[in-house]
Amino acid sequence: MTLSPDFTPLAGLAGGALIGLASAALLLANGRIAGVSGIVGGSLRAAPGDLGWRLAFLVGLPLGAAALHALQPADHGFAITSRLGVLVLGGLLVGFGTQLGSGCTSGHGVCGLARGSRRSLAATATFMLTAAVTVFVVRHVLGGL
């Protein structure tokens, strides 16, 4: 078996460790779960004094990516290639799914699984199965959008 030159297990391990540390830090510092959909939703209807940390978290997501790109400008292996309509539809479906599942992959998949939540295990398994079926249908049934 030949490994792809794009196979970067150390970068993946470092990224996963940083996500875990950031999630643990938010839980320890604020008692909050680092679920992005919950943080976004909560920022739209934040209680007094609750908006600051939410906005800092959300602004930090693209700033972290921008900082990595500034430090290491090489291509990081992905490109957005779909049409705008497909991207908008996908975003709306993800938003609907996070409401339906009472959380997203970061809340259930990272934080919930780490806490041993059976509900999060079921939600994460559902996310992953749905993603696999969606990729199969889009690539092999619809011919790639």
Which pLDDT band holds residue 2 (cuts at 50, 70, 90)? low
**Three-state SS for 45?**
coil
Which pLDDT band holds residue 121 (cuts at 50, 70, 90)? very high
User: pLDDT above 90 covers what percent of the chain?
Assistant: 12
Which pLDDT band holds residue 59 (cuts at 50, 70, 90)? very high
Which pLDDT band holds residue 63 (cuts at 50, 70, 90)? very high
**Three-state SS for 11?**
helix
Query: 14: closest CA among 58, 50, 68, 53?
Result: 68
Q: What is the C-alpha to C-alpha distance for residues 114 and 134, in angstroms, rounded to an integer?
A: 26
On whether the CB atoms of residues 95 and 106 are closer than 8 A, the answer is no
Contacts of 106 (CB under 8 A, 6+ apart): 19, 23, 34, 35, 36, 37
- Report the mean per-residue pLDDT for the chain: 84
How do the domains of the chain map onto residue ranges?
9-141
